[in-house]
Amino acid sequence: MLKVGGSVASELAASTELIVSLVERGHALAVVHGGGPLVGEWSAKMGLPTKFVRGLRVTDEATRDVALATLAGVANAKIVQALIAKGVSAVGLSGIDGGMLRAERADPELELVGNVTLVDSSLLEELIAAERVPVIAPAALDVKGGEILNVNGDTAAGAVAAALGARALAFITNVPGVKDKSGKVIERLDAATVKVLMDDGTIDGGMLPKVEACLVAARAGCRAAIVPSGDDAVERLLAGERVGTVFEAVS
């Protein structure tokens, strides 16, 4: 499984090329994408302020609607379009479709932000079995289905990878891995070290939900990693090589 970050989505050609090469090599694949910069840009156009708390976007109702329109709309359609143009049978959907992602509100301070509590991966499994590539925008329904919640792309990706029993989950972002205090990429992380690095502020901002998602996937037996974009990082990860920051599968 792949998660492509918002800044990578704006460099559409590179992420498309990566997905195409994985599909050509016969990998069954699902893609979750983010789009933080796009949500920020459109929020500004609408005169809405952008505020993050512990790496998550504070989401009032208007911001939730902007996130839905940009992520499940513009960002998702552009990724699907680029993949179709390269011959990949991509299908765009969001975590709402088929009741895929259920979430509960993460924190009153964050308003309409969900923490994924339940994944129905059956629709994804059908698509993958039909050799299609699902491209998933992060969004969820609350447990009763009464409300749409904004979900961080990483949170969605970790939960989906765990539910699918994916062999690997690679996060493609704008940094080549989790960096230590001196700026050097850390090769391996486990839950205990993550806690230390979160407590001392080394892991911060958008890296917080990403690392949490890696731990969720790793606990489900998935090889999770934050890898550099470009070159053959994902292939190397699948081959068991050291690349970016790897969170070993825990079973």
Number of residues that bind ligand ATP (CB under 6 A): 20
CA–CA–CA angle 89, 4, 171 (5° rounding)? 120
Query: Residue number with the shortest CB distance to ligand ATP?
Result: 34
212 binds, among ligand ATP, Mg ion, none (CB under 5 to 8 A by kind): none
Q: Is 212 in the site for ligand ATP (CB under 6 A)?
A: no
Residue from 134, 177, 206, 244 touching Mg ion (CB under 5 A): that is 206
Specify the residue, 24 or 191, whose C-beta has the smaller distance to ligand ATP. Answer: 191
Residues 128-147 that bind ligand ATP (CB under 6 A): none
Cα distance between residue 150 and residue 233, in whole Å: 30
Binding string to ligand ATP for residues 167 to 206, with x set by CB under 6 A, is what?
------xxx--xx----------------------xxxxx
In the complex, least distance from residue 195 CB atom to ligand ATP, rounded to whole angstroms:
14
Q: Does 32 bind ligand ATP (CB under 6 A)?
A: no
Q: Using a CB cutoff of 8 Å and minimum separation of 24, what contacts does 89-93 make?
A: 89/131, 89/132, 89/133, 90/31, 90/132, 90/133, 90/134, 90/135, 91/127, 91/132, 91/133, 91/134, 91/135, 92/135, 92/137, 93/123, 93/134, 93/135, 93/136, 93/137
* Residues 154 and 203 sit within 8 Å (Cβ to Cβ): no
Q: Which residues bind ligand ATP (CB under 6 A)?
A: 5-7, 34-36, 153-154, 173-175, 178-179, 202-207, 210
Q: Which residues bind Mg ion (CB under 5 A)?
A: 206
